[in-house]
Amino acid sequence: MQQSFQATEAEVLVVVDVQNDFCPGGALAVRRGDEVVPVINRLASQFRHVIFTQDWHSPRHASFASTHGKKPFETLRLAYGEQVLWPDHCVQGTPGADFHPALDRRPAELVVRKGFRQNIDSYSAFFENDHHTRTGLSGYLRDRGFQHAYFCGLALDFCVKWSALDALQEGFRSTVIEDACRAIDLDGSLAAALVELRTAGVSLVQSARLAA
């Protein structure tokens, strides 16, 4: 069943932020985040094209609670709106910002780094959190002729959700492979994310139920 799916040339797998800091033992650990790794390695073999994203923050980034003398998971109004404040995570060049050691990097044709601007966070692989500053991914996908993006990785209720919603906005078909994701689940954010995704028109599928 599972092995029967083979993606077309117009389909791309986007692997979101499968980095040490989002896995157990990391600075912003997502519960059971490491469990997505074997699922994603298997999925990657069913796609002809794979892109990774990598959360890549400068030290003392505006999204870090410590930058503002606040506690993690409080919120703060920044110039572009409400921002959840996170523990320091995925700092450029640190082991926490590396991909999980068991994630097969070979299939990645492109690594999109995001969140490197000091004063602005970036959950989505397409736009920074001001919903205006572009990462360049839309242009890349269009240039390559991709029409349908499949998302997996960490975390389902933040970076995966924002990326999948923006993909749709940018005119691509958008699918989230649910069992290849794990969530932070801050105050019910997982349930809310699933409703938001469905309402917007993002398809939610299980990796074993991918159909051509």
Q: Is 70 a catalytic residue?
A: no
Structure tokens at 87: 């523990």
Interface pattern 113-152 for Zn ion (x via CB under 5 A) = --x-------------------------------------
Q: Is 55 in the site for ligand VGL (CB under 6 A)?
A: yes
Q: Starting at the edge strand that comes first in sequence, how are the strands of the sheet with 50-55 ordered?
A: 108-114, 50-55, 11-16, 148-154, 173-182, 203-205
Q: Is 154 in the site for ligand VGL (CB under 6 A)?
A: yes
Pick 48 or 105: Cβ nearer ligand VGL: 105
Do the Cβ atoms of 15 and 180 come closer than 8 Å? no
Could you say which DSSP state residue 21 is in? G
Could you say which DSSP state residue 30 is in? P
Choosing from 55, 159, 161, 166, which is the catalytic residue?
159
Site for ligand VGL in 68-87 (CB under 6 A): 86
What interhelical angle do 189-200 and 161-169 show, nearest 10? 20
Q: Is 55 in the site for Zn ion (CB under 5 A)?
A: yes
Give the binding site for ligand VGL (CB under 6 A).
17, 22, 55, 86, 123, 154-155, 158-159
Active-site positions read 17, 114, 159
